[in-house]
Amino acid sequence: MTGQAAGPQRVGPGVSFRARLTIGLIAGSLLPLAGFGLTLIVAQALTTGEPDPTLVRVVVFVLAVALVVSVVIAYLFAVNLTAPLRAISRAVERVSAGDLSARVEVAGEDELARLVESHNQLAAKLERRNVELGRILLAIGRTSPSDGLSHLVEEATASARTAFDMIDAWIHLGDPADVPVEEVVPGESRPVRAILALPDERVGVLTGRLPATRSWDAADQDLLELYASEVAVAIRNVQLFEQVEEQARRLRELDAAKDDFLRGISHNLQSPLTSIRAYADAMAAERPDRRLAIIVDQSERLHRIVRQLLAVSRLEAGTLRARTEVVGLAARIRRAWEALGAADVAFELNDASEGWLAIADPDQLDQVLWALLDNAVRHGRSAPIDVTVSAHPADGHVVATIRDRGPGVPEPERELIFERYGRGGASGETEGTGLGLYVSRSLCRAMGGDLTFEPGGRGGANPGSAFSIVLPGEAPPLEP
């Protein structure tokens, strides 16, 4: 049936070579002697009319002695003749175990000598290809995509010459059809080539020349093509690396341009916002109007957003510095809440700091408090807000925890809320710059503290969220 692999071909009967050789030697020595004895007995019987018993006994005795002697001699001959085969077998076992230096020597020019020579040639080729494969592996790991395409081509060409013992080698990038195929001329250096092929593209061709005495068969060509495919992969990696580097460079340029734009637009917005707020305050003082109050509130909100943008630009430039003072954290929180103007939201402040003061930059602290309180109002859906100020004498910190009763932050978004331009989607709100929490944590850390988040523990539809401002603290003075 076609398509099925053929089984191993049996050579000779199912008896060992040594047994067949021994049987053949015994038969070769006994058959002529037995024939001669049988001829004597028949001739004597024809002459006398009946076989001579004495002659028969003599012939049987001679055959018995000859059998014993032929068995011994045949065994010794069989051992001597199979010794080269045993040596070849041991050499093959050593080669299969990885010792490619195993060789066998047999005198003469018969079939056994040719078998030994074939084994020695096979072992030599395997050893050479093993060395070539080692050189290929070494060459593959010698270059990096960051070295550039020209350096890769130079290294790959030099490695091909070394790995395959070439006289010279070249790598041509582009269409392999542009490089003509050279014919093999007996007695001259042998041309070889392999396509630098990828699954979807041919990027070039590797060509070289071998010494005229260098053998080259299908296995050698397979190794060269394997090396060429690895070179093609390395070339593609270099090209992809260069594309990624170019994209990263463009992204850095765009990021720098964005930071410059933010700095410029933030500075340019400060003056008009200040003028709008000042004129609105003056007009409201002359003639109170609800619309003027809205203008003042919104200009103040926009002013704070501009301050966030300025803080981001200073953070990116590394110029943000904190001018720390000793401040009362609870009083600062109360002032920020009143400035926020969320009169319709219930607010409770619990001061358990026991006289501890915070060491912070007042302006930066106000910016953090406004961002967190505004975040609690917007994402808490106007639910009551609780703020607790506590002291931690063990580590010298003062902590202000702001809790809301909103829907909370889904677990997949909790790692993103402190990222730039990150927004929590729990409340469905998209208002804001996405910079509040990022800037607030950066300002807290610039003041030597931190800003942490804790999921609410209420459960249900509105578990809430809690943000804790951690700042260095100063203990109250000891009473005399």
Domain that holds residue 189: 146-243
pLDDT over 70 percentage in the chain? 72
pLDDT of residue 182 exceeding 80: yes
Q: Are residues 231 and 159 in the same domain?
A: yes
Three-state SS for 170? strand
Q: Are residue 86 and residue 167 in the same domain, yes or no?
A: no
Same domain, 235 and 329: no
447 found inside a domain = yes
- Residue 299 to residue 284: CA distance in whole angstroms: 14
Banded model confidence at residue 426, pLDDT cuts 50, 70, 90 = very low
Per-residue model confidence (pLDDT) at position 381:
75
What's the rounded Cα separation, in Å, for the pair 27 and 285? Answer: 137
Per-residue pLDDT band at 126 (split at 50, 70, 90): low
**Do both 79 and 154 map to the same domain?**
no
- Domain assignment present for 170: yes
Q: Which residues contact 241 (CB under 8 A, 6 or more apart)?
A: 145, 146
**Residues 447, 331 share a domain:** yes
Average pLDDT over residues 253-266: 72
Mean pLDDT of 375-403: 88
Closest to 450 measured CA to CA, from 470, 472, 465: 470
The pLDDT assigned to 106 comes to 60
Tokens standing for residue 111: 């079939």
Q: Give the model's pLDDT for residue 13.
A: 56
Tell me the residue length of the chain: 480
Domain annotation covers residue 372 = yes
> Which of these three, 77, 100, 116, is where a domain ends?
116
pLDDT attached to residue 207: 93
pLDDT at 316: 67
273, part of any domain: no
CB under 8 A, 24+ apart: contacts of 118-126: 119/88, 119/91, 119/92, 122/95, 123/91, 123/95, 125/215, 125/217, 125/219, 126/95, 126/100
Would the pLDDT of 21 be above 80?
A: no
pLDDT confidence of 139, banded at 50, 70, 90? low
Does 469 share its domain with 389?
Answer: yes
Collapsing DSSP to helix, strand or coil, 276 comes out as helix
Residue 129 pLDDT greater than 80, yes or no: no
Q: Do 107 and 154 share a domain, yes or no?
A: no
What pLDDT is attached to residue 1?
42
> Which of 116, 137, 162 is the last residue before a domain boundary?
116
pLDDT band at 116 (very low <50, low <70, confident <90, very high): low
Predicted confidence (pLDDT) per residue in 200-211, tens digit: 889 899 999 989
Q: Which one has a higher pLDDT value, 155 or 462?
A: 155
* pLDDT per residue as tens digits for the range 44-93: 777 777 777 877 787 788 778 777 787 777 777 777 767 776 776 776 66
Residue 399: band (very low, low, confident or very high) from pLDDT cuts 50, 70, 90: very high
Domain identity same for 362 and 219: no
**Domain match, 76 and 182 both:** no
* Model pLDDT for residues 232-242, shown as the tens digit of each residue: 888 888 888 88
Q: For residues 361 and 434, state if they share a domain.
A: yes
Tokens of 62: 């001679």
Cβ neighbors of 61 (< 8 A, separation 6 or more) are none
Distances (CA, A) of 28 to 37, 94, 127, 234: 15, 37, 44, 68
The pLDDT of 132-147, averaged and rounded, is 65
Q: Is residue 268 part of a domain?
A: no
Reply yes or no on whether the pLDDT at 456 is more than 70.
Answer: no
The residue among 211, 243, 275 that closes a domain is 243
Lowest mean pLDDT among 4-13, 78-87, 274-283: 4-13
258 pLDDT exceeds 90?
no
Q: Pairing between strand 385-392 and 347-352? A: parallel
Average pLDDT of every residue of the chain: 77
**pLDDT exceeds cutoff 90 at 389:** yes
The whole-number average pLDDT for the span 387-408 is: 89
**CATH number, position 168:** 3.30.450.40
In terms of domains, do 376 and 467 share one?
yes
Mean of pLDDT values over 158-163? 81
CATH number at residue 412: 3.30.565.10
Average pLDDT (353-375) is 88
Q: Do 154 and 92 share a structural domain? A: no
Does residue 380 fall inside a structural domain?
yes
Q: Which tokens is 70 given? A: 């032929």
Q: Is the pLDDT of residue 430 over 70?
A: no
Structure tokens at 277: 């707020």
Domain-located, residue 137? no
The confidence score (pLDDT) of residue 421 equals 63
Better-scored residue on pLDDT, 363 or 132: 363
Confidence grade of residue 428 (pLDDT, cut at 50, 70, 90)? very low
Count of structural domains within the chain: 3
Give the model's pLDDT for residue 183: 87
